[in-house]
């Protein structure tokens, strides 16, 4: 191949410390909207197909086109999927951030950059490879309108050659991405092939980084948490989705729009739809619709993020008090206010817990992996209908929008739990059993959960009037002090009952550990890596990942059993720790806050440093 202007490759010395195989991090710096997501996920999937554990994270601006955007790929033979705070390899396609990025590269690391960038390279301790992006595109003869979208494929080809990513796996990844559409695959693959060929002919590899096939991903899938959650809901028999677009929750609802027609064709009435989806005019309407549907007996949900959840506050209070099942997915982002809409956080924990005026309570679920997003996708409906109350599932942007290697989704291992619903004959039976005593809010079983009837029930005694105003066991308007108190006490009892149904915490133990760690959600990946690092220093830890509120009694026992318990979370004020302090005041002095909010997922290093520093200062 002849290029118009062959580039001069700087000859750097060969790897000093030997090869680095399957254990490094690549950061891609591109311009938002330039189609870099296709290039990046192609690499992610190709590495995955080689059997090597890999994770990818977008670090996006809140912008559609034009601002800098980053993507990091972490390759980890040990299977660590959390964020790493270092750049081994930087691929720079963006002149604006070029100078800054050089600073982050580890000594002996790699800088690949588009040779269109004519800026000074200050670092002398890194391996530098300019990439002749335009020359390659010209040679392939990419039409002008597609140039921007295929330019990033140049680094896919060069990296494949440089690191040893197999071209057959790259092709598989492209086929997946473009759903086998040849007309889309071909121009991209042409660029990749030519770029790889160019690298083979012109680059003299001096860096130590290699990817070598493993078999770590047997039976694994790749998905983001939002896709998993939407699919889980579909397997949970969701019947109504009212939603309003908001980053980072939009893809959850959009996944459902995509898969409902495929997975939810009525088995009995051919061609009929068993799930209704409506994009509402705002989040208040979205939750209103979902609560209406839940009241009507449908498995109903919405998906939102912090600002949307704020708008839903009044309706959630109504649903709590009228005992209406509904599922809310809150894919958390950085707040307050509009905050950092494209950055991750666990900042809605206290808000979600206390949402609404007066005395309220909710069932909160915290999925900690993609697989669990799927599981809680269906389980949340069982809980909401069994307990007749809102269930708020707190995911986050990191889990929801990034691609994760995961064990495959598991078919629900339990039949649907529709809770205590009385249709025409059921009502007759219960009236007979109780001696004509049934009321919508009457606690017949002593577990705080009443029996409900649904609109459409033709039994003349089935109807009741739902209201946010004070009501007695029969749904009648009442302002009597004792009635109000009685109802609120029963609701509290109901949440005690809820503990029998909520997912138990997950405990991971090490021998002779005196230190405990408590966490929720997506921090799990970095926490496990941090625990390994701490263990290497001789600090053994036990970890309990909480999966639900109301808090399980196991959590109290866990705190009791340890000298000190670090509560790790992504927010400023230690919100999970605050709730634990309220729930277990007698244990509160043992709890230590390990919390941070900078818009990024917590790294294992940071967690390890915090815990070891606090241990050392004891």
Partner 1 sequence: MMNTDAVVHSLVHTNTVECVRNDYKGLPSTLCQGCGHNSIASQIITACYELNISPEKIVKFSGIGCSSKSPTYFLSRSFGFNGLHGRMPSLALGALFADHTLHGLGISGDGDTASIGMGQFKHLVRRNIPMVYIVENNGVYGLTKGQFAPTAEKGLRLKRQGVNAFQPVDICMEALASNATFVARSFAGDPKQVKELLKAALSHNGIAVLDIISPCVTFHNHENSMHSYMGGKALEAPLHEVTYVPSREEIVIDCFEEGETRDVILHDGSMVRLKKLEKDYDPTDRHRAFQMLDESEKKKLLITGLLYIEPYRPSLFDLYVLPETPLNRLTEERLRPPKESIGRLNQMML
For partner 1, the binding residues in 448-477 under the rule CB under 8 A are 453-460, 462-469, 477
Please give the size of the binding site for partner 1, defined by CB under 8 A. 74
Residues 476-515 binding partner 1 (CB under 8 A) are 477
Residues 316-375 binding partner 1 (CB under 8 A) are 318, 322
Closest C-alpha to 248, from 341, 323, 162, 175:
341
In the complex with partner 1, which residue's Cβ is closer, 279 or 533?
Answer: 279
Binding span for partner 1 by CB under 8 A among 84-92, 100-108, 282-290, 481-489: 282-290
Q: Is 382 helix (H, G, I), strand (E, B) or coil?
A: helix
* In the complex, least distance from residue 450 CB atom to partner 1, rounded to whole angstroms: 16
For residue 53, what are the β-bridge partners?
none
Q: Tell me the C-alpha distance between 402 and 57, whole Å.
A: 5
Q: Tell me the C-alpha distance between 333 and 344, whole Å.
A: 5
* In the complex, least distance from residue 379 CB atom to partner 1, rounded to whole angstroms: 13
> Is the N-terminal amide bond of 248 cis, ω within 30° of 0?
yes
* In the complex, least distance from residue 276 CB atom to partner 1, rounded to whole angstroms: 5
Position among 35, 61, 292, 503 found at the interface with partner 1 (CB under 8 A): 292
For residue 404, what are the β-bridge partners?
223
Closest C-alpha to 230, from 275, 163, 188, 197:
275
Residues 85-144 binding partner 1 (CB under 8 A) are none
Q: Is 286 in the site for partner 1 (CB under 8 A)?
A: yes
Q: Tell me the C-alpha distance between 81 and 53, whole Å.
A: 8
* In the complex, least distance from residue 285 CB atom to partner 1, rounded to whole angstroms: 4
Token reading at 536? 């290497």
Binding mask 185-224 for partner 1 (x = CB under 8 A): ------------------------------------xxx-
Closest C-alpha to 127, from 143, 106, 100:
106
* Sheet hosting strand 506-508, strand order edge to edge: 506-508, 541-546, 515-520, 564-569, 591-595
Residues 218-277 binding partner 1 (CB under 8 A) are 221-223, 227, 231, 234-237, 239-240, 242, 263-264, 266-269, 271-274, 276
Q: Tell me the C-alpha distance between 201 and 195, whole Å.
A: 10
Q: Is 51 in the site for partner 1 (CB under 8 A)?
A: no
Q: Is 432 helix (H, G, I), strand (E, B) or coil?
A: helix
* In the complex, least distance from residue 354 CB atom to partner 1, rounded to whole angstroms: 19
Position among 291, 387, 520, 555 found at the interface with partner 1 (CB under 8 A): 291
Q: Is 480 helix (H, G, I), strand (E, B) or coil?
A: coil
* In the complex, least distance from residue 272 CB atom to partner 1, rounded to whole angstroms: 4
Total residues found in the chain within this entry: 618
Residues 149-178 binding partner 1 (CB under 8 A) are 176
User: Please, what's the b/e burial string for 411-449 (b: 16 or more CB within 10 A of its CB; e: otherwise)?
Assistant: ebeeeeeebbebeeebbeebeeeeeeebbbbbbbeebbb
* In the complex, least distance from residue 107 CB atom to partner 1, rounded to whole angstroms: 37
In the complex with partner 1, which residue's Cβ is closer, 6 or 261?
Answer: 261
Residues 389-448 binding partner 1 (CB under 8 A) are 408-412, 415-416, 423
In the complex with partner 1, which residue's Cβ is closer, 76 or 462?
Answer: 462
* In the complex, least distance from residue 411 CB atom to partner 1, rounded to whole angstroms: 4
* In the complex, least distance from residue 298 CB atom to partner 1, rounded to whole angstroms: 5
* In the complex, least distance from residue 328 CB atom to partner 1, rounded to whole angstroms: 14
In the complex with partner 1, which residue's Cβ is closer, 92 or 322?
Answer: 322
By CB neighbour count within 10 A (0-12 exposed, 13-18 middle, 19+ buried), where does 616 fall?
exposed
Position among 189, 298, 391, 422 found at the interface with partner 1 (CB under 8 A): 298
């Amino acid at each position: 191949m002849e290029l118009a202007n062959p580039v001069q490759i700087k000859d750097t010395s060969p790897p000093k410390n030997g090869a680095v195989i399957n254990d490094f991090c690549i950061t891609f710096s591109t311009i938002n909207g330039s189609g870099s997501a296709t290039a990046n996920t192609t690499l992610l999937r190709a590495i995955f197909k080689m059997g090597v554990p890999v994770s990818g994270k977008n670090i996006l601006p809140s912008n559609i086109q034009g601002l800098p955007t980053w993507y990091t790929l972490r390759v980890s033979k040990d299977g660590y999927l959390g964020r790493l705070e270092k750049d081994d390899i930087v691929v720079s396609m963006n002149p604006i951030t070029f100078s800054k990025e050089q600073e982050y590269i580890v000594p002996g690391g790699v800088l690949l950059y588009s040779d269109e960038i004519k800026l000074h390279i200050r670092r002398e301790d890194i391996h530098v490879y300019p990439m002749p992006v335009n020359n390659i595109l010209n040679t392939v003869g990419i039409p002008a309108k597609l140039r921007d979208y295929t330019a990033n494929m140049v680094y896919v080809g060069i990296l494949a050659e440089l690191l040893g990513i197999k071209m057959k796996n790259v092709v598989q990844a492209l086929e997946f991405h473009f759903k086998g559409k040849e007309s889309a695959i071909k121009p991209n693959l042409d660029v990749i092939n030519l770029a790889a060929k160019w690298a083979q002919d012109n680059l003299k590899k001096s860096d130590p980084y290699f990817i070598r096939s493993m078999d770590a991903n047997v039976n694994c899938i790749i998905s983001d948490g939002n896709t998993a959650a939407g699919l889980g809901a579909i397997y949970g028999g969701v019947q109504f989705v009212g939603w309003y677009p908001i980053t980072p929750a939009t893809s959850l609802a959009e996944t459902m729009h995509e898969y409902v027609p495929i997975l939810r064709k009525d088995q009995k009435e051919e061609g009929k739809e068993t799930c209704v989806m409506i994009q509402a005019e705002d989040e208040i309407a979205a939750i209103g619709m979902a609560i209406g549907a839940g009241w009507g007996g449908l498995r109903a949900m919405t998906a939102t993020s912090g600002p949307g959840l704020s708008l839903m506050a009044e309706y959630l209070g109504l649903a709590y008090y009228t005992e209406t099942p509904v599922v809310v997915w809150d894919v958390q982002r950085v707040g307050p206010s509009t905050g950092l809409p494209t950055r991750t956080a666990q900042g809605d924990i206290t808000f979600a817990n206390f949402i609404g005026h007066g005395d309220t309570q909710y069932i909160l679920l915290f999925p900690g992996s993609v697989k669990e997003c799927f599981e809680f996708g269906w389980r949340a409906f069982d809980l909401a209908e069994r307990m007749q109350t809102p269930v708020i599932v707190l995911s986050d942007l990191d889990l929801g929008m990034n691609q994760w290697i995961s064990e495959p989704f598991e078919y629900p291992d339990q039949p649907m739990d529709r809770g205590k619903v009385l249709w025409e004959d059921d009502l007759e039976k219960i009236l007979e059993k109780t001696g004509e005593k049934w009321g919508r809010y009457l606690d017949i079983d002593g577990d705080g959960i009443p029996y409900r009837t649904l609109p459409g029930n033709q039994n003349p005694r089935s109807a009741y009037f739902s209201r946010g105003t004070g009501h007695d066991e029969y749904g009648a308007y009442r302002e009597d002090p004792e009635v109000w108190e009685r109802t609120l006490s029963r609701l509290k009892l109901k949440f005690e009952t809820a503990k029998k149904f909520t997912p138990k915490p997950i405990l991971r133990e090490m021998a002779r550990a005196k230190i405990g760690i408590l966490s929720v959600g997506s921090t799990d990946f970095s926490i496990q890596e941090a625990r390994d690092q701490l263990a290497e220093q001789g600090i053994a830890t036990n970890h309990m990942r909480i999966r639900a509120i109301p808090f399980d009694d196991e959590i109290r026992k866990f705190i009791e059993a340890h000298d000190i318990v670090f509560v790790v979370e992504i927010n400023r004020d230690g919100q999970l720790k605050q709730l634990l302090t309220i729930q277990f005041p007698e244990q509160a002095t043992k709890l230590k806050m390990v919390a941070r909010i900078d818009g990024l997922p917590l790294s294992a290093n940071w967690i390890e440093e915090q815990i070891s520093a606090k241990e050392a200062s004891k």
